[in-house]
Amino acid sequence: MSRPPLYDTRTRRGRALLGLLAPLLVLSFVAACGKKGDPSTLPDGATLLSEAAAAMRLVQSAHSRLEIDGTIPDLPLTYAEGDISRAGDAEGTLQLTFPQLIEVEFKILGGKRGYLKYPTGGWVESTLVIMAVYNPAVLLDADNGVANALAKATNARTEKSEKVNGVDTYKVNVDMNRKATEALVPGKLPDGLTGTFWIDKASKRMVKVTVVYPASGSNPAVPVTLSLNDFDKPVTVSAP
């Protein structure tokens, strides 16, 4: 008759071996989990923001998408998406809520001239309108765009590693600088804003930021998210 294996828990030897191994397995599992979630193994948040600011100052173009998850008083906008360049050019679509819910095409040239195309009719020069609602052309400005918002954020805390649209990132919670944040998200911004940056581990570019408009009166808090991808792909915007 063949002998049962050493790990067969039906035998006295198997039960004894299991009793010896069980504590070791538990300790190994706890140690592994602790290492994965230990904040001390993550990069310093302030250092990540500094590296991300430097990386974003070199970006020449990108695809951007702004999403507003709720209603912000006096801001007739739900989302805006398009291609942007360091030169201040941008084109894409945005959705307005006033005078009704409509999707509108936009173009911005050199950060100075803006055009809108409504569902019916052709292009109309609407520089004041587009600049008042949302101006994505400033996002890649080295002094006033994303790089500046990263540089001016404070109290940075690296929370964890996380994938964003297939990109390995570090998630960093921060206190936002109100003035610097005005270039990232539209609307009248209050003081005391908090936000979260997602920084690409490899390139150190910012791939996403969420800023939370605090609750006010009967209005709940509203997260606003800006995502960037397709970095440095050619972007050409011409006048309509």
| Structural domain includes residue 32 | no
The answer to whether 61 and 108 have CB atoms below 8 angstroms apart is no
CATH of the domain at 202: 2.50.20.20
pTM over 0.85: no
Range of the domain at 128: 45-229
| Structural domain includes residue 192 | yes
Q: How confident is the model at residue 225 (pLDDT cuts 50, 70, 90)?
A: very high
| Structural domain includes residue 37 | no
Strand 61-68 versus strand 90-96 pairing type: unpaired
| Structural domain includes residue 8 | no
Count the domains in the chain. 1
Report residue 235 CA to chain centroid gap.
21
| Structural domain includes residue 151 | yes
CA-CA distance, 161 to 170, in Å (whole number)? 5
Query: pLDDT value at position 14?
Result: 44
| Structural domain includes residue 122 | yes
Is the pLDDT at 100 greater than 90? The verdict is no
| Structural domain includes residue 134 | yes
Among 52-61, 75-84, 210-219, the minimum mean pLDDT is found in: 210-219
| Structural domain includes residue 114 | yes
pLDDT in tens, 151-193: 999 999 999 999 999 999 999 999 999 999 998 888 788 888 9
Query: pLDDT value at position 40?
Result: 64
pLDDT in tens, 195-223: 999 999 999 999 999 999 888 778 888 99
